[in-house]
A = this chain, B = another copy of it.
Amino acid sequence: MTTSTLSRKDQIEQTATALFKSRGYAATSMRDLATELGLEAASLYSHIKSKEEILQRICFRMANEFFEGLMQAEKTIGNSTQKLEAAIKSHLTVLTKQPAASAVFQNEWKHLSEPFLSNFLKLRHDYENHFRQIIQEGNASGEFAVADEKMATLMLLSSLNFVHAWYKPYGKLSPQQISDTLSNMLLNGIVSGGKSQTAVRDLSIPNQSDGDVYIPAQKPAGFKNPKEQLKNIHQN
């Protein structure tokens, strides 16, 4: 699926997605977008009605994808742990298949105008509630031990959502490995202990999965005192 096989409108959306992710929606101009596509800015308006329309399409398309995945996951037969695992895996599948669009979905929705903004927030709220429902059921059955279901839901989703910031499609970690490892950590925690680890298909993930993000460092680099930076900021 190269760029050339896409319709012009889809090319515009794809390129805009990449720019919105890296520079932010407000800091991306139609000239930037046109230049990236080898066009003049005015030509874009033969394909789209406005800059915001592009954002709307990205946000609601992604909302739709996250929702469809969750609806499938909720059909999973089994206990709450298995349902939650399926929901986590579905969320991460969407996120790793479309990391840039997911980032825009999560970070740029505030620039939607009404009534799109309200509709978007309602959808997100519903989505969170479905996750919370799974946690609630697991808590009621004694399967989970969660003190605050709302916080657990938000913690869980924020852990998953940040994946777009470090996931590399061609990195050493496959979506499956990410899904398994994250599921296990969220369900069973960091502290060692004899808990069930039904989600874990591969615990022998090579510990050296660095490279993607970090310079492998055995010892953390010493602090370069942040106060130094403050001093370097130009005063008036």
A binding-site residues for B, Cβ under 8 Å: 9, 22-24, 26-27, 46-50, 53, 56-57, 60-61, 63-64, 67, 71, 81, 84, 107, 110-111, 116, 119-120, 122-123, 125-126, 128-130, 132-133, 135, 138, 142-152, 154-159, 161-162, 165-166, 173, 178, 181-182, 184-196, 200, 203, 205, 207, 209-210, 213-214, 217, 219-221, 223-227, 229-230, 232-236
Complex Cα distance, B208 from A169, in Å, reads 40
Q: Are A64 and B230 in contact (CB under 8 A)?
A: yes
A-B contacts, 28 of them at CB < 8 A, read A24-B26, A47-B236, A50-B234, A53-B236, A56-B233, A67-B225, A67-B226, A107-B107, A116-B233, A125-B221, A129-B221, A130-B220, A135-B190, A145-B190, A145-B192, A145-B193, A147-B203, A148-B181, A150-B213, A150-B214, A152-B185, A154-B165, A155-B185, A158-B158, A159-B159, A188-B193, A189-B195, A194-B194
Q: Are A233 and B53 in contact (CB under 8 A)?
A: yes
Chain B residue numbers with a CB within 8 Å of A145 are 190-193
A contact patch SS:
helix
Number of copies: 2
Q: Are B159 and A155 in contact (CB under 8 A)?
A: yes
Residue among A122, A196, A223 with max Cβ neighbours from chain B (10 Å)? A223
Cross-chain contact of A146 among B123, B190, B193 (Cβ < 8 A): B190
Cross-chain contact of A142 among B48, B53, B192 (Cβ < 8 A): B192
Complex Cα distance, B223 from A190, in Å, reads 34
Q: Are B182 and A227 in contact (CB under 8 A)?
A: no
Closest to A184 in B: B147
Contact flag A149-B207 (CB < 8 Å), given A27-B26, A195-B191, A230-B64: yes
Q: Are B188 and A189 in contact (CB under 8 A)?
A: yes
Since A9-B236, A126-B224 are in contact, a sample of 17 more A-B pairs with Cβ atoms closer than 8 Å, ordered by chain A residue number, is: A24-B110, A26-B26, A48-B236, A49-B235, A53-B233, A116-B229, A116-B233, A123-B229, A138-B190, A148-B207, A150-B209, A155-B186, A158-B165, A188-B193, A193-B193, A193-B196, A194-B194
